[in-house]
Structure 1
Amino acid sequence: MASGRSTRDARQAKVAEMRAQAAKAEARRRNLLISGIVAALAVVIVVGFVVVQNASRDDKSVSDATPANIGTDNSIVDGEDSAPVKVVVYEDFQCPYCAQFEAANREQLAQYVKDGDVQVQYRPIAFLDRASTDDYSTRSLNAVAAVVNSSPDAFLEFHNLLFENQPEEGGAGLTDDQLVDYAVQAGADEATVKTAVDDMTYEGWTADVTDAASQAGVSGTPTVKINDTALESLDAASLKTAVDKALAAAK
């Protein structure tokens, strides 16, 4: 019990540090332009919050369980390691701009993966708990971890369902039962996912990967990198141009 409180105290101290960093980032980064299908998306600035603990669970130790099937740098991978272009996507399931990025680029990325040209490395994080009334960013990422742990082949469909059914900011997120239902719809095992969702098995992991993203310089979502180069315009045409350029360089 004491160890759990010590872990929370350390993470809460980190929150204060990240808030200060986010305030500086907000002053610097205000002009993320997205055109085409995702016309003129605004920058998403982290509002000074690294997820550490659901307040309703303050009397419990935070689990440090790590899901299986997680790749390098906390990636959930779609595509072969041999693909010459690596597309890294930092996203938050509460972030509306992430949903728009996915809608604009999902089919194109899927085709690149199918052709063996691209490996997509999804690195979901939980920056936006304060944009919901029930810590939806953390709860949804915990559910994703449960799916990846037990049914990794169901991840991509679950990922897509979460964005297609994304709740509006400022209110309640999807309920735990809805998260489980979408996981099952995607092909995950119901009993296994439900246990992890009910127990918040991967809550500590969600805090860790969010902190790791902050330490890596990620201050907003979506953040997209192509072979380590950040993509500024996130519409489909810009993504295709950048990927094709990286493919040509690789060849």
Structure 2
Amino acid sequence: MFGSPRHRVVGCLALLPVVAVAAVACAPAAATSPTPASMDPVAGIVVGDGAVDIQLWSDPSCPHCMSLDEAIGDQLADFVSDGTVTWTLHPMTYVSAKRGDTTDYSTRAAALLFGLAAAGETDAIAPLYGLIQRHQVTAEHSPSDEELLGYAADAGATSDLSTAITDDASLASAANDAWLGAPIPGTDQVVDHVPLLVIDGTVFEVHEDGTDAARFAAAVAEAASD
């Protein structure tokens, strides 16, 4: 995972009801930091400046998103760091409700990611995303706002993010609403489940069969050589 784990495609389906948690299938940063109000919810959170374009639609409450992060998160972070890729994260927020989570973890965590981006701390986005995925809501516990802010500090954030979870909740919801059910440009895919990973315009099939990491590295290498 960031900062740390058919031919069947899995995902958190957007349109089907869920009866149990187990059934949930689940432009580069500006020189001056944007304010949350000026951020484009469709554009997402952009990290890095490499030639290979990677777009990820993911939800902080999706178990399959956590599994994908465990498989490829470290690789993706390395590709960003070494200048190979530009990574755009599109945080989604609908899975909390589908899993029966009344604490709105998806929206709160996504808002914090947007707040961190608005503060210009893009170096902390990848490790914070990894911590958010690793600490998903369980039957016993849902991370509080204070715990989320602690994850940001652990990820290296130094900005005052104390109001980000509240201030950027509407931005997080707007991003979710803008993308859910919308087509991904250049592909035949619509955003109807998460995770969705697109590498240079090609949808990457998430199998969760132990092959994702190797296939991801190969796909990035191929895109980089084109």
TM-score range (shorter-chain normalised) is 0.7 to 0.9
Q: Is the 8 A contact 2:51 2:224 kept in 1?
A: yes
Residue type of the partner of 1:91? S
Residue type of the partner of 2:70? A
Matches within 5 A, 1:17-32: none
Matched residue, 2:56: 89
Residue type of the partner of 1:181? G
Q: Is the 8 A contact 1:93 1:140 kept in 2?
A: yes
Q: Is the 8 A contact 1:151 1:188 kept in 2?
A: no
Matched, 1:43 2:11: yes
Structure 1 residue 171 displacement after superposition: 6.3
Matched residue, 1:218: 191
User: Take 2:41 and 2:135, find their aligned partners in 1: how far apart are those partners?
Assistant: 28
Task: Specify every segment of 5 or more residues in structure 2 that has no aligned partner in the other structure, as ranges.
Answer: 1-5, 18-33, 184-189
Q: Is the 8 A contact 2:14 2:192 kept in 1?
A: yes
CA offset digits 1:43-76 (Å, max 9, x no partner): 3211469xxxxxxxxxxxxxxx962795794222
User: Take 2:38 and 2:135, find their aligned partners in 1: how far apart are those partners?
Assistant: 25
CA offset digits 1:82-131 (Å, max 9, x no partner): x2211111101111111111111122223322332221111111121212
Q: Normalized per residue, which structure has more helix?
A: 1
User: Take 2:147 and 2:104, find their aligned partners in 1: how far apart are those partners?
Assistant: 15
Report how many aligned residue pairs link the two structures.
Answer: 191
SS at match of 2:136: coil
TM-score between the two structures when normalised by the length of structure 1: 0.67
User: Take 1:72 and 1:201, find their aligned partners in 2: how far apart are those partners?
Assistant: 14
The structure 2 residue matched to 1:162, chosen from 132, 137, 159, is: 132
Residue type of the partner of 1:225? V
Percent same amino acid at aligned positions? 27
Cα 1:188–1:68 change in 2 (3 A) is: farther
Structure 1 residue 181 displacement after superposition: 1.5
Runs of at least 4 residues off by over 6 Å: none
Task: Specify every segment of 5 or more residues in structure 1 that has no aligned partner in the other structure, as ranges.
Answer: 1-32, 35-39, 50-64
Cα 1:166–1:230 change in 2 (3 A) is: same
TM-score between the two structures when normalised by the length of structure 2: 0.73
CA offset digits 1:21-51 (Å, max 9, x no partner): xxxxxxxxxxxx37xxxxx7733211469xx
Residue type of the partner of 1:121? T
User: Take 1:115 and 1:196, find their aligned partners in 2: how far apart are those partners?
Assistant: 29
User: Take 1:135 and 1:146, find their aligned partners in 2: how far apart are those partners?
Assistant: 16
Q: Is the 8 A contact 1:93 1:166 kept in 2?
A: yes
Residue type of the partner of 1:128? V
Structure 1 residue 175 displacement after superposition: 0.8
User: Take 1:119 and 1:221, find their aligned partners in 2: how far apart are those partners?
Assistant: 20
Q: Is the 8 A contact 1:92 1:222 kept in 2?
A: yes
SS at match of 1:166: coil
CA offset digits 1:189-225 (Å, max 9, x no partner): 46x312233xx11122112111221223201110000
SS at match of 1:173: coil
Cα 1:110–1:184 change in 2 (3 A) is: closer
Residue type of the partner of 1:233? V
Structure 1 residue 151 displacement after superposition: 4.8
Matched, 1:231 2:204: yes
User: Take 1:160 and 1:184, find their aligned partners in 2: how far apart are those partners?
Assistant: 13
Residue type of the partner of 2:13? I
Matched, 1:240 2:217: yes
Alpha-carbon RMSD: 2.7
Cα 1:243–1:196 change in 2 (3 A) is: closer
